[in-house]
Structure 1
Amino acid sequence: MAKIPTSRVDKLLSSMGYGSRNEMARMAKAGGITLDAAELLDVTKRIPVTPDLPTRMEIEGEALDPVAGMVILLNKPLGMTCSHKEDGALVYDFLPERWKRRDPAISTIGRLDKQTSGLLLLTDDGDLLHRVISPKRHVKKTYRAKLARPLDGTEGELFASGHLMLEGEDKPLAPAELEVVSETEALLNVTEGRYHQVRRMFAATGNHVEKLHRERLGGLSLPDGTAPGQWKLLSEEEIALIFQ
């Protein structure tokens, strides 16, 4: 059985973005922190950091945020950037402000470019992040592409061949699966995450992607009715779907 980690309350809450350790001490003295319905006055106390802690601890009357190890599914809108550093609208802007101060930091699992929408995962679990993006895992990503010109019928064979070489690269792409939806729309399943890969694949056939939306990651898909900018925390069962 894995050992349950423990942490000082002030250190834990500070790492979750609630404020400095001194601020946590002042909050506790004012009765703002409760554990198991009792006021917790001593923030130097060490407590077990278990997944059920958010159901047992309240901060100023609200349930504690999820502890480290959370995975967030976001329906990324167009025009948002998957970066901590760039100017403009960022995908992190949809999350609670204090989550930007969490340590470990929340990062995207791979990236969708500014003009691509759809399923995006974010996590503070570095091990999970690397497992999902590792080329050895072959996690399938499904994109819906709307194209400027009709498909000519040769794309499926080319993408599946394992011989397509993108401009400026010296290693061919892994085989990818194309499903034709209409003459100007297709679903493309890829297992790699090269820079602007889907757009460059269609460009190699002389076509141009006008609209790109990621629908699935492994066995995980956007729930019906998930609006652009809407997000949810994933359960362990939903996280497992990524690797199916």
Structure 2
Amino acid sequence: MRLVKLLANLGYGSRKEMQVAIRNGWLTDREGSRLKADAKTAHEDILFDDEPLDPAHGVVILMNKPLGYTCSIKDQGRLVYDLLPDRFRMRKPVLSTIGRLDKETSGALLFTDDGTFLHRVISPKSEVPKIYEVTLDRPMKGDEGALFASGDMMLESEDKPLKPAELQVLDETHARLTLHEGRYHQVRRMFAATGNHVTDLTRSHIGGLGLEGLEEGKWKVLSEEEKTRIFEGG
């Protein structure tokens, strides 16, 4: 791919703007040599204004999403994309979230511009487990674990039972819940069906991938090994 098109696809600017950037000498290799538009330099060896280029197509990003941010660009208010560099919104292919977390849910959120990878993660066949840390308004009754694991639980206005889910009770108002599907507001609706109310909800893991060392509001590009961990336990 020509350098101008590569830069434009990464969201650095229009092709015309990138032609100007190249003429101005803002593109160099790691030895400091100015690059021309037809340069054959490897992606990882290209610097834009002395900084490495953003990851190439196929990137997968993990974010520790804070409360108060939504995932759809159609929503009003603060978006998860506001926590990424502005140019990431201009990438082609587009950078999309893999599933969503609502405004009042924090924790592990994935992004990618790889449609094949996205569909592999969300496919019902993959059954990628997702682990949630739950705080409840009132003590649990004691029968929630059996109900969630039964495979017979029906949510209001739905005609298909939930897949079995695993509940680990941490204390009377705190639990860890592992889901193998992703329905609308599923965790909140499951506990609501038992007469309880979720007051705090965090997704701590997607598959075998957790948030270890990643501060709230921060993000990182996943390595190939980390991407593989997403499918552990499915």
Residue type of the alignment partner of 2:23: K
| Aligned counterpart, 1:77 | 66
| Aligned counterpart, 1:29 | 23
Residue type of the alignment partner of 1:17: G
CA deviation profile, 1:167-208 (whole Å, cap 9, x unmatched)? 000000000000000001100000110000000000111111
| Aligned counterpart, 1:237 | 225
- SS of structure 1 residue aligned to 2:75: coil
Q: For 1:144 and 1:92, how far apart are their aligned partners in 2?
A: 24
CA deviation profile, 1:143-183 (whole Å, cap 9, x unmatched)? 01100111111000000000000000000000000000000
| Aligned counterpart, 2:193 | 204
Matched, 1:133 2:128: no
Question: In the alignment, which of 215, 218, 225 is matched to residue 227 of structure 1?
Answer: 215
| Aligned counterpart, 1:179 | 168
Q: For 1:231 and 1:204, how far apart are their aligned partners in 2?
A: 34
- Residue range with higher mean Cα deviation, 28-37 or 87-96: 28-37
- SS of structure 1 residue aligned to 2:62: strand
- SS of structure 1 residue aligned to 2:111: strand
Residue type of the alignment partner of 1:70: V
| Aligned counterpart, 1:20 | 14
Residue type of the alignment partner of 2:3: V
TM value normalised by structure 1: 0.92
Gaps of 5+ in 1: 1-6
Name the count of aligned residue pairs.
Answer: 231
Matched, 1:39 2:28: no
Deviation at 1:123, TM superposition (A): 1.0
Q: For 2:2 and 2:73, how far apart are their aligned partners in 1?
A: 28
Question: In the alignment, which of 73, 82, 85 is matched to residue 93 of structure 1?
Answer: 82
Gaps of 5+ in 2: none
Deviation at 1:26, TM superposition (A): 1.2
| Aligned counterpart, 2:106 | 117
Question: In the alignment, which of 57, 63, 77 is matched to residue 68 of structure 1?
Answer: 57
Q: For 2:25 and 2:106, how far apart are their aligned partners in 1?
A: 43
Deviation at 1:227, TM superposition (A): 2.0
- SS of structure 1 residue aligned to 2:135: strand
Matched, 1:155 2:155: no
CA deviation profile, 1:62-114 (whole Å, cap 9, x unmatched)? 11111111111111111100112212100011111111111111111100010
Q: For 2:91 and 2:39, how far apart are their aligned partners in 1?
A: 19
Q: For 1:119 and 1:21, how far apart are their aligned partners in 2?
A: 34
Q: For 2:185 and 2:83, how far apart are their aligned partners in 1?
A: 24
* Percent identity for Structure 1 against Structure 2: 57
Q: For 1:194 and 1:57, how far apart are their aligned partners in 2?
A: 42
Q: For 2:121 and 2:140, how far apart are their aligned partners in 1?
A: 31
Q: For 2:147 and 2:51, how far apart are their aligned partners in 1?
A: 54
TM value normalised by structure 2: 0.95
- SS of structure 2 residue aligned to 1:39: coil
Alignment of 1:213-224 (within 5 A): 213-224=202-213
Residue type of the alignment partner of 1:237: E
